[in-house]
């Protein structure tokens, strides 16, 4: 019996069949059980910020699990407090900021939904069409993709979706809105950026009417786009941000960071998580942030992103290159993204087909010249094989 048979008979059939069986990783590379090497330009969907088996992360997790792995939310631990302080610092939330820890991005979004309800229990939450916020019932309710919603109706009431245009934003009846929740860059939609000025206008309108501006920085955060958080490139301050993916470099974690008065909305006992702020996950988060700062990886994401975009422009089938930093969407001139992704995997390169015409790239923040040169060679071959 092959591993595919073992997988399909043991695992719930809720997701597509896995591409291959991976065994280990190092830096920007992973190896499957047959010893084949892959250049990983997806990084666990923007999770493995430091690549695979980074010594700083391995050391932090090993040290922490050998002393204290879990205590529940009845107790505090030093890594938990340190990571909350780190998140307040790098986000600019400062002394007024507060942090809630969960286990995933979806759990951070669930906390954001409850925060919005605290800001107006009978008011509407506004989200964007073609957005993605996770797969729990609350996060699916915010997600603006019908294909991900329809099988689970009825969803959370009081959620409206609008198009990502300033005109649609200005047409909202803001008096009835408790919060606007959006991704600064729509990752699952194919790394689609919002129109120029959209975030600033969103901030103006929400502030004017007492609605919260909550940003889903799950994929765009922790240095991925060339700044610690994508909103920092738009001269705005949100009321809250949801953080996850790259935060602990592969150890599951999620966080909701609040700014200013939004930090006072939850009262004691209104929210919690048994594993939230787990010392193992928060120690990993601290190690990731410290290594990103030590190695200058936020700047590296910006520089390498520009280098990649320049190299991608003009390749066969490439019609458009989108995104910021090392979150890049490659728009194709033909609907062959699945074919390109499969051809790349065959060549030893991991990329993601976000939809029929978009390839998503989210390599580790540690990549350098050699990995980019190898990527361009392999990706060009995959494009040529798919034309």
Task: Give the 3-state secondary structure of residue 292.
Answer: helix
CA 260 to chain centre: 23
Task: Name the catalytic one among 245, 259, 266, 379.
Answer: 245
Reported as type and span, the H/E element at residue 182 is: strand 177-182
- Residue 179 φ then ψ, to 5°: -160, 150
- CA-CA distance, 305 to 299, in Å (whole number)? 10
Task: Name the catalytic one among 132, 198, 266, 379.
Answer: 132
Burial of 136 (0-12, 13-18, 19+ CB in 10 A): middle
DSSP 36-97: -EEEESSHHHHT-TT-BS-HHHHHHHHHHHTT-----TTS--HHHHHHHHHHHHHHT-GGG-
Tokens 């009978």 locate to 122
Task: Give the 3-state secondary structure of residue 13.
Answer: coil
Distances (CA, A) of 215 to 19, 112, 149, 362: 31, 9, 21, 19
Residues 6+ positions from 372 with CB-CB distance below 8 Å:
304, 307, 308, 311
Contact assessment for residue 32 and residue 38, using Cβ atoms and an 8 Å cutoff: yes
Q: Is residue 245 among the annotated active site residues?
A: yes
Task: Name the catalytic one among 198, 216, 231, 302.
Answer: 216
Query: What are the tokens at 385?
Result: 């094989």
Q: Is residue 198 among the annotated active site residues?
A: no
Distances (CA, A) of 48 to 119, 216, 245, 258: 34, 18, 8, 25
- CA-CA distance, 223 to 285, in Å (whole number)? 13
So which residues are the catalytic ones? 132, 216, 245
């Amino acid at each position: 019996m092959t591993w595919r048979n073992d997988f399909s008979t043991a695992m719930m059939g809720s997701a597509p069949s896995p591409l291959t069986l991976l065994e280990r990783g190092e830096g920007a590379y992973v190896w499957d059980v047959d010893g084949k090497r892959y250049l990983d330009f997806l990084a666990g969907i923007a999770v493995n910020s430091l690549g695979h088996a980074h010594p700083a992360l391995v050391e932090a997790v090993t040290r922490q699990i050998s002393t204290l792995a879990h205590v529940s939310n009845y107790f505090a631990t030093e890594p938990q407090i340190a990571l909350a302080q780190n998140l307040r610092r790098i986000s600019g939330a400062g002394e007024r900021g507060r942090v809630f820890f969960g286990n995933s991005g979806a759990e951070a979004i669930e906390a954001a939904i409850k925060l919005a309800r605290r800001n107006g229990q009978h008011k509407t939450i506004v989200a964007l069409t073609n957005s993605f916020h996770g797969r729990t019932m609350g996060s699916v309710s915010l997600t603006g993709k019908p294909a991900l919603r329809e099988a689970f109706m009825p969803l959370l009431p009081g959620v409206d979706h609008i198009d990502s245009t300033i005109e649609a934003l200005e047409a909202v009846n803001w008096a009835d809105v408790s919060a606007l929740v959006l991704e600064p860059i729509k990752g699952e939609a194919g790394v689609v950026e919002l129109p120029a000025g959209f975030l600033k206008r969103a901030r103006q309108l929400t502030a004017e009417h007492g609605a919260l501006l909550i940003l889903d920085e799950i994929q765009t955060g922790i240095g991925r786009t060339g700044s610690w958080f994508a909103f920092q490139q738009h001269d705005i301050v949100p009321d809250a941000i949801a953080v996850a993916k790259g935060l602990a470099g592969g150890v599951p974690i999620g966080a909701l960071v609040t700014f200013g008065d939004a930090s006072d909305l939850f009262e004691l006992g209104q929210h919690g998580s048994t594993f939230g702020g787990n010392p193992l996950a928060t120690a990993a988060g601290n190690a990731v942030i410290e290594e990103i700062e030590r190695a200058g990886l936020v700047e590296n994401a910006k520089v390498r992103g520009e280098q990649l975009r320049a190299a991608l422009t003009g390749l066969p089938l490439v019609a458009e290159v989108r995104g910021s930093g090392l979150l890049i969407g490659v728009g194709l001139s033909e609907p062959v993204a699945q074919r390109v992704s499969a051809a790349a995997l065959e060549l030893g390169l991991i990329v993601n087909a976000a939809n029929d015409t978009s390839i998503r790239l989210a390599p580790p923040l540690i990549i350098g010249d050699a990995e980019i040169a190898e990527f361009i060679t392999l990706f060009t071959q995959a494009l040529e094989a798919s034309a």
